[in-house]
Amino acid sequence: MSTRQTLKTLVEARRGLIVPGAFNALSAKVIADLGFEALYVTGAGVTNMWFGLPDQGFMGLAEIADHTARIRDAVDVPLIVDADTGFGNALNVVHTVRTLERAGADCIQLEDQTFPKRCGHLDGKTVVSTQEMCGKLRAALDARNSDQTLILARTDAIAVEGFDTAMERAEAYLACGVDALFIEALRTPEQMQQACARFASRIPLLANMVEGGKTPVQSADELGRIGFRIVIFPGGTARAVGHLLQRYYGSLHQHRTTAPMKDVMLDFDQLNALIGTPELMAAGQRYEG
């Protein structure tokens, strides 16, 4: 079964599929090695970890496509890829979908913010018209090479136009024929339940868990019970790594040795085992004379 077929099967299972965020190939390898069934190539995580910048439209198509391709080479689990606004109008979306599909995306997420976008849990967002977004979604559906590639429509309208209008936008995106919906930054458990009551029986819904964000953080099991089929934890990786880096470099600066951090580090052999060094060296020996 291809990774695209696998993802469709997982989503159709009607349970809270837990999908961690990956910002590079190493984080993806850890996710896959631990047995997660899919991963989320996070635009915010790539921006935070690659550029050291906030998620405010600094990442372009080339960067997310490059990260997707590297992650696809590293793991064989399904990839849900954050394509932001599609990097332009409907014609740009066509190029974006084709590029990310070639890079290895199994599901491509597109949102209705204006450009430059910003993190869904930051204030000050703006959105394009429903008509414009529907045109971009139809272009995405027409552009994909395989109908096994899922198109995930995200609306950020709650922060801009309110909950009821966001629901209307989600209805319009559903009518376009998208494969899944992502209603960003639901504010309360009641809003989450209302969204599921309206859509969960008709289309897969995604819940976004952001530690310290607008949406109450719940477990994938809890969210699966109310109707969310996909639960992403996209940015926790960057927050965890940022915390550990502060601790590691702070300790090194203070103690002038890494000895106090030994218990929270991989040693030389453990890291090489994680990245497949022994297997790679064994493979290379087959070509040596």
pLDDT digits (tens, 9 = 90+) for 130-148: 999 999 999 999 999 999 9
CA dihedral sign, ordered 93, 152, 171, 116 = negative
The token duo for 226 is 């109310």
Instruction: Tell the residue number behind the tokens 């030994």, with chain if given.
Output: 262
Residue 220: band (very low, low, confident or very high) from pLDDT cuts 50, 70, 90: very high
**pLDDT number for residue 47:** 93
Q: Return the bridge partners of 127, or none.
A: 113
Judge whether residue 201 has pLDDT over 80: yes
What whole-number percentage of the chain has pLDDT above 90?
89
pLDDT digits (tens, 9 = 90+) for 222-251: 999 999 999 999 988 899 999 999 999 999
Which residues of the chain are in CATH 3.20.20.60 domains? 3-235
The token duo for 63 is 């960067």
What is the Cα–Cα distance from 248 to 278, expressed in whole angstroms?
A: 27
pLDDT digits (tens, 9 = 90+) for 4-49: 999 999 999 878 999 999 999 999 999 999 999 999 999 999 999 9
Instruction: Tell which wins on pLDDT, 287 or 250.
Output: 250
Q: What is the pTM of this model?
A: 0.95
Which regions of the chain does DSSP assign to beta strands (E)?
17-22, 39-41, 79-82, 107-111, 150-155, 180-183, 205-208, 230-233
> What is the CB-side half-sphere exposure of residue 227 using CA atoms within 13 A?
20
The token duo for 280 is 């790679």
Residue 62: band (very low, low, confident or very high) from pLDDT cuts 50, 70, 90: very high
pLDDT digits (tens, 9 = 90+) for 161-177: 999 999 999 999 999 99
DSSP per-residue letters across 78-90 = -EEEE-TT-SSSH
Omega of the bond leading into 116 within 30 degrees of 0 (cis):
yes
Amino acid at 64: I
What is the Cα–Cα distance from 87 to 60, expressed in whole angstroms?
A: 7
The token duo for 167 is 């629901």
Candidates 182, 248, 181, 240; CA nearest to 211 is: 240
**pLDDT number for residue 243:** 94
What is the Cα–Cα distance from 115 to 57, expressed in whole angstroms?
A: 7
Look at residue 77 and give its three-state secondary structure. Answer: coil
**pLDDT number for residue 119:** 81
State the CATH class of domain 3-235.
alpha beta
Of all helices (H) and strands (E), which one includes residue 39?
strand 39-41
